Amino acid sequence: MNRVIKARKLGIFSFLRPEELLLIPFFILLVILLSVLNLKFSFLPRMSYWIAILALFYCLIFISGIIAKGIKNTLNKKRFLDPFFPGQIIKFLRSWIPLIAIFVIYENLHDIIPALNLADKDYLLLKIDLLLFGSPHPSVLLQSIVTPALTSIMNFAYFTLFLYIPLLGGIFYFSNKEYAWNHLLFSITLTAFLGFIGYLIVPGVGPQFYIKDQYSINLDGDKINNLAFSLHESLRVSRDIFPSLHTAFSAVSLFIAYRYARRISFLFMPFIFALWFSTIYLRYHYLVDVIAGFALAFFAFYFGDFVCKKWYGKKNQKY
Least trusted range by pLDDT, from 131-140, 165-174, 308-317: 308-317
User: Residues with Cβ < 8 Å from 211, sequence gap 6 or more?
Assistant: 126, 137, 139, 140
Residue whose C-alpha is closest to residue 306's, from 132, 186, 174, 209: 186
What does the alpha-carbon distance between residue 76 and residue 64 come to, in Å, rounded to a whole number?
Answer: 16
CB atoms under 10 Å from CB of 246, counted, come to 24
* CA 4 to chain CA mean position, Å: 30
HEC sequence for the chain: CHHHHHHHCCHHHCCCCHHHHHHHHHHHHHHHHHHHCCCCCCCCCCHHHHHHHHHHHHHHHHHHHHHHHHHHHHHCHHHHCHHHCHHHHHHHHHHHHHHHHHHHHHHHHHHHHHHHCCCCCHHHHHHHHHHHHCCCCHHHHHHHHCCHHHHHHHHHHHHCHHHHHHHHHHHHHHCCCHHHHHHHHHHHHHHHHHHHHHHHHCCCCCHHHHCHHHCCCCCCCCHHHHHHHHHHHHHCCCCCCCCCHHHHHHHHHHHHHHHHCHHHHHHHHHHHHHHHHHHHHCCCCCHHHHHHHHHHHHHHHHHHHHHHHHHHCCCCCCC
User: Residues with Cβ < 8 Å from 233, sequence gap 6 or more?
Assistant: none
Judged against a pLDDT cut of 90, whether residue 286 lies above it is answered with: yes
Least trusted range by pLDDT, from 8-17, 75-84, 197-206, 236-245: 75-84
What does the alpha-carbon distance between residue 150 and residue 278 come to, in Å, rounded to a whole number?
Answer: 10
pLDDT digits (tens, 9 = 90+) for 127-138: 999 999 988 999
> What is the model's pLDDT at position 7?
46
Q: Residue 154 carries which side chain, given as an amino acid letter?
A: M
State whether the Cα torsion 158-164-165-166 is positive or negative.
Answer: positive
Prediction pTM value: 0.82
Compute the mean pLDDT over every residue in the chain, rounded to the nearest whole number.
Answer: 79
Instruction: Grade residue 191 by pLDDT with cuts at 50, 70 and 90.
Output: very high
pLDDT digits (tens, 9 = 90+) for 22-36: 888 888 888 888 787
Judged against a pLDDT cut of 80, whether residue 57 lies above it is answered with: no
User: Residues with Cβ < 8 Å from 308, sequence gap 6 or more?
Assistant: 18, 179, 182, 183, 186
> What is the model's pLDDT at position 319?
35
What does the alpha-carbon distance between residue 70 and residue 73 come to, in Å, rounded to a whole number?
Answer: 6
